[in-house]
Amino acid sequence: MASVSYHISSLLEKMTSSDKDFRFMATNDLMMELQKDSIKLDEDSEKKVVKMLLKLLEDKNGEVQNLAVKCLGPLVGKVKEYQVETIVDTLCSNMLSDKEQLRDISSIGLKTVISELPPAATGSTMTANVCKKITAQLTGAIGKQEDVSVQLEALDILSDMLSRLGGTLYSFHSSILSCLLPQLRSPRLAVRKRAIIALGHLVLTCSGNIFSELTEHLLAELKRNESTSTTRTYIQCVAGISRQAGHRIGEHLEKIIPLIVQYCNVDDDELREYCFQAFESFVRRCPKEMDPHISSVMGLCLKYITFDPNYNYDNEEEEEEMMETENGEDEEQESNDEYSDDDDISWKVRRAAAKCLEAVVSSRPDLLQDFYRTLSPALISRFKEREENVKADIFNAYISLLKQTLPTQNWLHSSDASGKDDIPLKMLQNQVPNIIKALHKQLKEKSIKSRQGCFSLLTELASVLPGCLADHIPALIPGIVFSLADKSSSSNMRIDTLSFLHVLLCNHQPEAFHPHVKALLPSVVTCIGDPFYKITSEALLVSQQLVKVIRPLDKPYSFDAKPYVKDLFSATLKRLKAADIDQEVKERAISCMGQIIYNLGDHLSTDLQPTLKIFLERLKNEITRLTAVKALTLIANSPLQIDLRPILGEGLPILASFLRKNQRALKLSTLNALDILVKNYSDSLKPAMIEAVLTELPVLITENDMHVSQVTITFLTTLAKIYPSCVSKISGSVLAEIFQLVHSPLLQGGALNAIIDFFQALVLTKTAAMGYPELVKQLTAPIYCSGSAGASLTLHKQAYHSVAKCVAALCSACPKEAPATVNQFVQDVKSAKASPAVQVLAFLFLAEVGRSTNLSAQRELRPVLLEAFSSPSEEVKSAASYALGNVSAGNLQEYLPFLLKEISSQPKRQYLLLHSLKEVISSSPADSLTPYVEDIWALLFKHCECTEEGTRNVVAECLGKLTLVNPAELLPRLRKQLSAGSPHARSTVVTAIKFTITDQPQTIDALLKGCIGDFLQTLQDPDLNVRRVALALFNSAAHNKPSLIRDLLTSVLPSLYNETKVRRELIREVEMGPFKHTVDDGLDVRKAAFECMYTLLESCLDRLDIYDYLNHVEDGLKDHYDIRMLTFIVLARLSVLCPGAVLQRLERLIEPLRATCSTKVKAGSVKQEFEKQDELKRSAMRAVAALLTIPEAEKSPAMAEFSSQIRSSPEMASLFESIQKDSASLPTLEAMDMS
């Protein structure tokens, strides 16, 4: 400590030296000291350092002053509060000094101090006190000062403070407001501008009253309209406030908008520009409140986007000719004309109107058809705009319109969604010729900005409507060639042109380009040789596409590609050989050359082999190996049968070694490449080469990575078919891994199918070690060894299904062996010794075999199955029911009538028998079921009023799946039942409809769309249970086929929202001994309603009134535990999807979150209660973390207060940190998975 103070006092001494260099060096050393975290100053040193630095601010030497100011930053955190106040006081009084230099340096000092103050959330009082001191002085300075530069600096510092620490100045807000408002009428425009910026920062954190006071003042001033100049300022101020805190200005818009509309018609260009800027920020920030005004704002924009009073567009061609003849008379006109083009600022009005239109388009996708009717033609007619900046904004507005038209994700809008959503696309299609007419001349203009705008717009157009430019390609090619060959073009211009060309080539048929290859190719080839790597890389991408165009291999063509091969090949080869170029260029050169060999390999003659040798080199390089593997895969797959023999000897071991590498993408690509090589080049590969590859495979088969396992097993299947002898050598180690996978609970889908194919291929290799009996024995061993008859299942349930499928697949591959195996399993089930595990496996196996073959030869099968229905084990019962269903599906005539009879006569076994019936309906093709439909239908309706809900659900699933057999006839019958039956019957019918909706397109969809509204009417059913299943139906439709319900939302949403309310009449008290316990019967329905709301966010967001939606989310935040968990998730999702709306409601949303986070569980509660509360807090914190990702959320007073509460409570702070860590690690995991 002593040494530090000694060192510092020696520095202070040097600072008093008369030599400026000494002073400079000493100040610099002090700065270094202050920046160390470890430094501690005693009181005396603090005083001296502060005093010295303040003195140095007045130093004669500018460099010393600058350093002294820089020292203030680190000093703030190292000295006590009263010292900081001393610094601030001195700086503030220096601000008012007469010396300009001192004023400047002091204002920099104040800004430095403010930026270093600890944020208010850390709980330090210093910040608040210091800020109050500064504010008091600054507001005085702004108000009284005659000197404008002091005012400007003071306003600047005040803005800084309000933006960083606005919340701490709470008590000063009204005095700040009263100090800033008069500045809006200052004679100096710069002062007004800074006052507006300061007000913008103030409105983020001020209270509602102060905000209202400000808006009232602005409204009053706008009405007074004292002079155009002040009116401009007030409109700018309104726009500024709206940009900063748009969510607060919404409620005042009703009064503001008519005033601004009125000022649009005043003949003052600047005023109009500010009016449109205000409109733009209203449209972006308050979409709901702007709804009634959108049409009038659009009308004004369309009127003023053509506002160009000093220029005549109509007869441009004639004018050009006239100019040449009139040149002589021109001089004398000039002198009389007092208006020059430099004074013309009408372009600013047009630009503001275009930007405003862009805001309208991007925030209102629901008005798309209106936009195409009115706005699109108006914008197209303005593409001729003469002012570059305006033209860029008009292009942007049109690009926004195209982006809104892009069809939404495909999985949501299945085939039946066409029709309504296509109207804008059709309207756009009709306007394409006008767009091209307006643009194609501009592609040859001098202005680079215009050309870039044209290409961006055309690129977007080609992506939105693939194929729409096919007829216009002749008009576009000259422009493309011009931009690529033009020496004056910037590199960005060329890159944009190439990327447009790439999109164009990808989205149109090859024939359309054949007449133009001759014109296009030379300029693309030149670009491949360009010294700038980004141009080269884009040009290689285009060339890759061009190769596919000049010789499409998938269809007959008459175009001769030969003359172009040499140029393309030699340009690409040059880039492929170069080792010292950019990584991206290397990769694209490899891909492009791969494509050339794939499409044109037969034209390359002697050049082919040397090029393949280069590929071999690229395989050996770690940086390019992945791209090289993909290119080789492509070449190996070429229909031209390229000769790869010279490189296979060396190449295959390299590929084999890649299977050991850690990079997942490389493993997958290599397996794919090997698979294709083995299929297409089997005659050139020696067994020794294959064995080298085989030894790498067993390690890749593991349940930790199912996808890699699947691809490996698919490759093994290929090998087993082509090189049976090689596979049999290592089959032991591979099979051990595969058996382990079959018995894994994770195996399903693609990986399971791959294993089944492999077993079938393996059995057919006829090698003794892996014959049929051996494989079956190995597959079933773990189940047969599982021990005594009483033991329950040993493996996971999924493993039994996998084993059964594999054994059944082996049976179908070896039909001679099948009857014996079936017999064996039937005997196993009959034997009294068989354990439940063996029985389950046997039934699942019989189900798999029975589905595809007729098992009527097995006379004992039916009694065995029925007997199993009374087994003590639930697993055995359900497996037997599954088997009966599948065996019946394979032999309908014999089994189905019997099954229907059993269902009627055996009430005790009904549930299991209905499950069997469900399997029959699911597994049988529609035409074979048709004769039995009536009997099944009648039987099901007998049972649809069953009191047992489980049975009703199975009946409903059977009804739903049966309806799919003949929807035209059966759907209307279901509809009739809605009005007829009891509540139980209604709920069964509604659930049945749920089972007719799948995520795949089906014939029933069109019929369903017409009548799903009737089924959703049950959302208003008096019976609680019916309403619950109706919500489940709605949720399923919204999730799997939104198109069914999109147009019904206006009528359905009120009923849905109605179900989110807590119903007092459904809450009852149950006495449990001495305790009273409340039960809420409406909870399940509310839960279902909130689940629907969540689903709608994903699929129908554009059809929701988000503010109305938020009202119900707010109620949910205060509801029961289960509902709150759901609404927290909804809130987190909303923060991402529509942050603007959430911001407007932030104050109301935070209260319930805060209440949840600060609840304490009663001390004597049970463990579950504590866990429940913890889970709830975690979920609430996740929602808070999501809210904080909205940029302006932190600036809301309620949010800022809550954040500081979180930071000050250790428990909440640690919870919040752990959640932030979780969310930070999520994206990286996803990114890893993408590889």
DSSP 39: -
Residue 304 has pLDDT above 70, yes or no: yes
| Per-residue model confidence (pLDDT) at position 1226 | 52
- Which pair of structure tokens corresponds to residue 478? 């000259």
pLDDT digits (tens, 9 = 90+) for 851-892: 888 777 777 777 877 777 877 888 888 888 888 888 888 877
pLDDT digits (tens, 9 = 90+) for 163-211: 777 777 778 888 888 888 888 888 888 889 999 998 888 887 787 888 8
pLDDT digits (tens, 9 = 90+) for 16-50: 888 888 888 988 888 888 888 777 777 788 888 88
CA nearest neighbour of 249 among 259, 258, 239: 239
Percent of the chain with pLDDT over 90: 13
Q: Grade residue 314 by pLDDT with cuts at 50, 70 and 90.
A: low
| Per-residue model confidence (pLDDT) at position 245 | 76
CB 1080 within 8 Å of CB 1067: yes
CA–CA distance, 413 with 422 (Å, rounded to integer):
11
Residue 1062 has pLDDT above 60, yes or no: yes
Which residue shows structure tokens 């018995």?
Answer: 743
| Per-residue model confidence (pLDDT) at position 335 | 39
Residue 336 has pLDDT above 60, yes or no: no
CA nearest neighbour of 404 among 471, 439, 467, 357: 357
CB proximity list for 991: less than 8 A, separation 6 or greater:
952, 953, 956, 957, 960, 1029, 1032, 1033
Residue 497 has pLDDT above 50, yes or no: yes
CA–CA distance, 691 with 694 (Å, rounded to integer):
5
CA–CA distance, 516 with 717 (Å, rounded to integer):
46
Whole-number mean pLDDT of the chain? 82
Residue 628 has pLDDT above 50, yes or no: yes
pLDDT digits (tens, 9 = 90+) for 1109-1162: 888 998 888 888 889 899 999 999 998 888 878 887 887 888 888 888 888 877
CA–CA distance, 1206 with 1209 (Å, rounded to integer):
5
Q: Which residues face 1069 on adjacent strands?
A: 1078
Length of the chain as a residue count: 1235
Residue 758 has pLDDT above 80, yes or no: yes
pLDDT digits (tens, 9 = 90+) for 556-573: 777 788 888 888 999 998
| Per-residue model confidence (pLDDT) at position 767 | 66
CA–CA distance, 794 with 738 (Å, rounded to integer):
19
pTM (predicted TM-score)? 0.77
Mean pLDDT calculated for residue range 366-395:
89
Give me the phi and psi of 1005, to 5 degrees please. Answer: -55, -45
Q: Grade residue 411 by pLDDT with cuts at 50, 70 and 90.
A: very low
- Which pair of structure tokens corresponds to residue 792? 């329950």
Q: Grade residue 537 by pLDDT with cuts at 50, 70 and 90.
A: very high
Q: Grade residue 307 by pLDDT with cuts at 50, 70 and 90.
A: confident
| Per-residue model confidence (pLDDT) at position 121 | 54
Mean pLDDT calculated for residue range 364-374:
87
CB proximity list for 36: less than 8 A, separation 6 or greater:
none
CA–CA distance, 694 with 1105 (Å, rounded to integer):
60
Residue bearing the bigger pLDDT, 554 or 209: 209
pLDDT digits (tens, 9 = 90+) for 986-1028: 888 888 888 888 777 777 777 777 777 777 777 788 888 888 9
Which residue shows structure tokens 């005539």?
Answer: 893
Mean pLDDT calculated for residue range 957-976:
82
| Per-residue model confidence (pLDDT) at position 324 | 40
Mean pLDDT calculated for residue range 469-474:
89
CA nearest neighbour of 889 among 827, 860, 941, 932: 932
Q: What interhelical angle do 173-180 and 148-165 show, nearest 10?
A: 150
| Per-residue model confidence (pLDDT) at position 1090 | 92
CB 530 within 8 Å of CB 490: no
| Per-residue model confidence (pLDDT) at position 413 | 43
The DSSP secondary structure of 825-883, one letter per residue, reads HHHHHHSTT--HHHHHHHHHHHHHHHHHS--TT-TTHHHHHHHHTT-S-HHHHHHHHHH
Q: 517-523: which pairs have CB atoms within 8 A and are 24 or more residues apart? A: 517/546, 517/549, 517/550, 517/559, 517/564, 519/477, 519/478, 519/481, 520/477, 520/480, 520/481, 520/546, 521/546, 521/564, 521/567, 521/568, 522/567, 523/480, 523/481, 523/484, 523/485
- Which pair of structure tokens corresponds to residue 752? 């399971």
Report the SS3 class of residue 334: helix
| Per-residue model confidence (pLDDT) at position 485 | 85
pLDDT digits (tens, 9 = 90+) for 573-583: 899 888 888 88
DSSP 371: I
Percent of the chain with pLDDT over 70: 93
CB 1201 within 8 Å of CB 116: no
